[in-house]
A = this chain, B = another copy of it.
Amino acid sequence: MNYCSQCGETVTVKVPAGDYVLRHVCDACGIIHYQNPKIVVGCIPEWEDRILLCKRAIEPRYGLWTLPAGFMENGETVQQGAARETLEEANARVQVGALYALFNLPHINQVYMLFRSRLLDLDFGPGAESLETELLDQSQIPWDKIAFPVIHESLSLYFQDRANGDFPLRTGDIQRLAGPGRRYEVCMRDTAEPTS
């Protein structure tokens, strides 16, 4: 951010009075331009024992597999956003169910929210951002070709929980490790009651 979106003058990065975080502050009109994390919403679309995955037709991670998910838009609910992304990426209609995975990705200022969802029919197919869409059972998941660590982790937990017949809300943090290569640390939170 170089210029004030309100008045067009230059901005300076500084800590405003009464604050403790560096912000972009307009040199002319004084407005503070806050920047906040974005929500990524998506579905785990279920059909009997299979789930629907999409092969990405866009960067980043072109050609790798993911769940239908994307940035939540203004004016919608998290559930509406998850359904919209599933329609856009897989032309699939779902009934959005319970929140299953809530992941913090603080290194890129994102919060992922993935919902278990019931696929309403089999009339799906790749949207503009997908090369392929496939209903896959557990043995068919391309574990070494999953686009993002948050999706890999969520799918891995999902099949573990399905084997137990119970889907608690899974919450954790995924951090990219410093240094070369794509290396991540996954830290799950204890799901016990806070007072126990």
Contacts and interface: CB of A to CB of B under 8 A. Distances in A.
Contacts of A194: 46, 95-98, 115-118
A94 to B, nearest CB: 8
A74 B36 contact: yes
Q: Place the interface of chain A in its size category.
A: 35 or more
A73 B36 contact: yes
Interface string A85-118: 0000000000111110010101001010001111
Interface string A23-36: 01000000001111
A27 B147 CA distance: 34
A54 interface: no
Nearest to A48: B195
Given A78-B104, A193-B97, A7 B18 contact: no
Given A33-B5, A195-B97, A39 B73 contact: no
Name which of A7, A111, A193 has the most chain B CB atoms within 10 A of its CB: A111
B169 A98 contact: yes
B3 A4 contact: yes
A72 B95 CA distance: 29
Contacts of A189: 79
A12 to B, nearest CB: 13
A138 interface: no
A8 interface: yes
A123 interface: no
21 contacts: A3-B7, A35-B74, A36-B39, A37-B74, A37-B76, A39-B39, A39-B111, A46-B194, A74-B106, A74-B109, A77-B173, A80-B106, A95-B194, A97-B194, A98-B191, A98-B193, A99-B169, A116-B194, A118-B195, A167-B193, A169-B169
